[in-house]
Amino acid sequence: MKALVFALRSFGRELRSGEVLVLLAAVGLAVAALTAVGFLTDRIGKAVARQANEVLAADLRLRSQEPVPQEWRDLAKDYDLETADTLSFPSVVFKDDDSALATIKVVSDQYPLRGKVRVADALFGEQRAVDGIPATGEVWADGALLARVGADVGDTLFVGELGVRVAAVLTYRPDQSIGFASLAPSLIMNIADVSQTGLIGEGSRVAYALLVAGDEQDVADFNEAIEDRLPDEIRVRSQEESSERAYSAADRAQRFLSLTAVISLLLSAVAVAMSARRFAHRRMDTVALMKSLGATQGFVISVALVQLLLLGALGVVGGSFIGFAAEELLSRILIDLLQQGELPGVGLRPVILACSSAMVLLLGFALPSLIQLRNTPPLRVLRHDAMPPAPSRLFVAGLSLAAVAALLYRSVGDPVMLLILIGGIIVIAGLLYLLGRAMVSVIGRARSGVGVAWRYGLANIARRGRDSAVQVVAFGLGITVLLLLTLVRTDLLEGWRSTLADDAPNHFLINIQPHELEAVRARFEASDIDAPVFTPLVRARMSTINDESVKDREYPNEDGKWLANREANLSWAAELSSSNELLEGEWWPADYAGPPLASIETEAAENAGLKIGDRLKFVIAGREVEAEIRSTRKVNWDSFQPNFFIVLSPGALDGMPTTYISSMRVADDKQALLVDLMRAHPSISVIDLGAILEQVRGIIEKASLAVQAVFVFTLAAGIAVLFAAVQSTIDERRFESAMLRALGAKKRTVFAGVMAEFAALGTAAGILASAGASVLAYLIATRLFELPYEFSPMLWLAGVSGGVFVVCISGYFAARSAVNSRPADVLRKVNT
């Protein structure tokens, strides 16, 4: 109790000291960054999962060839889940004497449970999201279907025996497939009308589905409850089985935010470590006096721990308040990140994590200094050079690194990111320390040929030795991450934006027959549009791998099994596509005419356990083709160009049933060409990617704004590190300044010497920080975000000049009180 009362009484006085303010700011910044980014990434993660569920238009889909029994709807309601019914079947749609095959999608009132249906009032008109479903007697029809039968909005189509009015052009439905196999255009109909069509009877090919959506935990409980009760004819599909490539832009947004939070936390840890060191050092005289008056080690350490916990509590409260405010601002920026009405709510995990981070930072980085404080000898009252034994450096480094590594892993859960960042920071810190020691050694022998101010500044560096090297490490780390998240951050975001060029294709043409190629090409050229490149497509099934059946083979994961057993899209090419990069093996010559060879996408090869030299056999229209894998490729799936998992050599698929696909950009004022094209060639399907392109661009721009906002925390943390580095030697600077001025030196000369010292430290730190930031930026861009990165000489210019400027400015504001202190006051305090 005495220790608590004493700690509380002295706490207010301690708050006025510089190192305690820096310590408090570092803890608060760490908590603020983790709180804001933790809430935001949690919300974005749930929003990404919701949007991935759009592939199903629900969270869970029960599909059957027979009507889904009512008991499953009742059970879903017991779990407070929403449900909707859909039916899908192929049918011919008529308008007068014209007809076309369509996929009839029959839906109930609640459809879709996830995502939005988008329609337009005219072919290739402006799209809009709609709530609800078509009214009875009305349908929403795909533009390709309308073009094939020569219909428009307002016309009547016949679906079976029922005449229905086209109320709008269907441009997008959440559970549609944009794969090359989805050739029949869609038509959405109200479930109340389906009985009047006369199309559903005994033996009809109808796919029934029950869509389920609701709270994440309720959906999981429902799924678990039905797992062992479902009959064989009903199959369940969840969002985990959806395309993992969907919404990669949102995933990158989370990574950018997590990266910023991690770096903010690392910087805060450095600031805490340096501030805690001085926090303990300044209390040694007080502790020595307390011990000489009878205070026990337990009392001393209790007082220090109480004050440390009070600092942590203040940091948590202040940081949480700032974090909540920042998260609210960022949520408003990102509310339409995924084109949803609102971002999902969050749990308490980010709050708990942010609060625990303060304690971990303080204990992991301040505890070693407190251990040393406990062992302060009472003799220090008489001899200020009497120092307590220092704890093991290995123990200090190990405890600190373990604390921050555990905290970072709990924050982001990305081991690759942590390995790159922590490994890079350790290497850079080691090199900075070696550079600092080397600089001290050189300066100690070469400072005689400069002016008074520079000689004084360089002498300070040489005299402090180890402390100067530690300051180079602190300055260098601060400058490294500031460079990383200013200039380099801009390069990364620009590289991200450049993956989706302004002239990216906005339409796909699929199912082009070989005899239509010249006519399609001529139609584009007649409209003054460059004819697109037509890529061949052949549907096939893989039968064996190295003479082993794909059904019997073991695979590294389920994705590999799916890849080998699904119906595949194959193509052939003489040259490597511009959106592909060869990783292993070699590409065949353009005039290759030998046995069939294959090139496979690298991730697909890993999932299926395939390597160069393996033999793949495909069955195509009753015929077999065997090809040997010659190379692996990295594919840019964001390019919106036709790309394939497997590409064969020229001639490998000669004589096989072939259609062609193409991607192109068609300006808004040329959209009529596509309508004419579909009417002249009814078999060709046109897929409008405009909405998808706008969605991805929106995600990138909104996420960029979020990264810019979160960067403020990192900038503040970097400044805190610089101030902590200066504060670590402020007592010595105050004493030195007082002595020099007492001996006749002018304040201006002393101040110039301090600035010369900081300029030298900033130059050394800036040089190595530029190198470190370049390497880290390259690793982050290529390993974490799969983005191109080019080394820039501007980074080095900014690193060195910025290092000198930032360190000098930080040193000026932190050290001016030491220089401006009255010599008499300082010397009188020392004597007492």
CB-based contact 773:480 (threshold 8 Å): yes
Evaluate the omega torsion of the peptide bond into residue 112 and state whether it is cis, within 30 degrees of 0: yes
CA distances from 783 to 243, 416, 420, 701, 793 (A): 22, 8, 9, 22, 22
pLDDT at 444: 59
Strand, helix or coil for residue 546: coil
- Residue-wise pLDDT for 109-138, tens only, equals 889 988 788 898 887 778 888 988 999 999
- Comparing 341 with 373, the larger pLDDT belongs to 373
Strand, helix or coil for residue 87: strand
For residue 629 the two structure tokens come to 């894998």
In the chain, where the domains are located: 1-55+248-413, 56-245, 428-502+708-832, 530-665
- Residues 6 or more apart whose CB falls under 8 angstroms from that of 818 comprise 730, 733, 734, 737
Q: Is the pLDDT of residue 676 over 50?
A: yes
Provide the total of helices (H) and of strands (E) in the chain, helices listed first: 24, 22
Q: Which residue has the tokens 């209790």?
A: 302
Please give the radius of gyration of the chain, using alpha carbons only, rounded to the nearest integer: 34
What is the C-alpha to C-alpha distance for residues 506 and 500, in angstroms, rounded to an integer?
11
- Residue-wise pLDDT for 133-187, tens only, equals 999 999 999 887 888 888 889 999 999 889 999 999 998 887 765 444 445 688 9
pLDDT at 478: 74
CB-based contact 691:441 (threshold 8 Å): no
pLDDT at 61: 86
Strand, helix or coil for residue 86: strand
What is the C-alpha to C-alpha distance for residues 428 and 421, in angstroms, rounded to an integer?
10
pTM of the predicted model over 0.75? no
The continuous run of DSSP H or E covering 804 comes out as helix 793-820
What is the C-alpha to C-alpha distance for residues 402 and 34, in angstroms, rounded to an integer?
18
Neighbours of 100 (CB within 10 A): 23
- Residue-wise pLDDT for 624-633, tens only, equals 999 999 999 9
Q: In this structure, what DSSP letter does residue 547 have?
A: T
- Residue-wise pLDDT for 380-439, tens only, equals 655 555 555 655 555 655 666 676 677 666 666 667 777 777 777 778 778 877 877 777
CB-based contact 714:264 (threshold 8 Å): yes
Per-residue confidence band for 287, with pLDDT thresholds at 50, 70 and 90: confident
